[in-house]
Amino acid sequence: MIGYISDNVLLPILDFFYGLVPSYGLAIIALTVVIRLALFPLSAGSIRNARRMRIAQPVMQQRQAEIRSKFANNPSKQQEEMGKLMKEFGSPLAGCLPLLVQMPILFALFATLRGSPFADVPYNINVKVLPADQIAAVETKPFNSASHSIFFTENDHVPVIASLPGGNKLGVGESAQVQLASKTGESIDAIEERIHPSFDLTPQWKITKGDDVVSVGADGTIQALSPGDATVELKLPGLAARSGFLFIKALGQVGFMADGGINWDIATLVAGFGLTLFLSQILSGWGMPANPQQATANRITPVMITGMFLFFPLPAGVLLYMVVANIFQALQTFLLIREPLPDNLQTILDQQLANQTVAASATAVSAERLPFEPKGKR
């Protein structure tokens, strides 16, 4: 499903924007905005529900405890009253459904930006080598990798599969050649001859596991050397992987550190992600009663996630998407928190804010009083 959405929805949108403005950086921004706009109703529902639950949760917890105590011996009545409570305030789980619905689209968008044309596309082929006297008894079947849409030119991309027609189980001394072809069976050489790529599409071969088990040639021929398990990786270069945008040196660049130095463009994108995430979380609590635990989480969470992405290998194009998506999320949150609340929740919020003001005043007065002074002196 994710591959289908990527190939048939996201890449055509990307092609459209690249046709308008021939810049893959701008195309990423435009694609991100379009997807976020399309998902606006779903994400707005989650933001609204989170805001309402933050207000209603203390009252709901108190009411739930009262219902359990009052109807402890009457489960059916307890369930009925709980249903009425959910109808009055809404369900805490209501905000999860919109998130679940939009997840396939977001995963597809993420996969699209991690693949061609923004990054070199890896295919991993797991090979099992058996002793020569055992391979005859093993039933083999063709091996096909997942397909990836490979850009041959700015406007031509084809889903390409890596396959071993004879299977990925070999006997010692046997060999097999990896074949690259479209879903319809057209070889990559035939595709190149038909389309005439605008850059060098020569595959890069590498053994990532079991270099004593197999060897691989420049033409993709795998030679079985000794029994064991191995993984052969081939990469097809991404058309725009080395294209820059604004301060970004290459959209396909991966990693905070490179060749002993710091990739400052990656560092800037990660810092932008952290700042925009922090802004979005601060906005989500705007106009709400103070919550020390939530405030602490709002400070720590962006730092933890940002620190993780400093060392998590994401291409610069993906980080660009994440920064733009966070900016959009912050703007969406700002607009939604200005919406009027239902009367019952507004009444609860007003009471919570009033109680907070009274508590703050009492704390201030207590702080002004000297330790030895009687409470009634002031």
Question: Which is more confident, 288 or 230?
Answer: 230
Contact 199, 239 (CB under 8 A): yes
Q: What is the mean pLDDT of residues 96-102?
A: 67
Given this model, what pLDDT does residue 271 score?
A: 82
Confidence of residue 281 (pLDDT cuts 50, 70, 90): confident
The band of 23, judged by pLDDT with boundaries at 50, 70 and 90, is confident
- Report percent pLDDT > 90 for the chain: 2
Residues 6+ apart with CB under 8 A from 117: 24, 151, 154, 157, 238, 239, 240, 241
- By DSSP bridging, strand 221-224 and strand 143-144 are unpaired
- Cα separations in angstroms, 252 against 114, 160, 267, 313: 8, 19, 14, 11
Closest CA to 113 of 230, 232, 207, 11: 11
Confidence of residue 231 (pLDDT cuts 50, 70, 90): very high
Amino acid identity of 36? Answer: R
pLDDT top residue among 315 and 287: 315
Report the pLDDT value the prediction gives residue 264, as an integer from 0 to 100.
75
pLDDT of residue 59: 75
DSSP letters for 230-258? EEEEEEEPPTTTT--BTTBS-TT-B-SEE
Contact 190, 226 (CB under 8 A): no
Distances (CA, A) of 118 to 163, 189, 245, 310: 23, 22, 12, 19
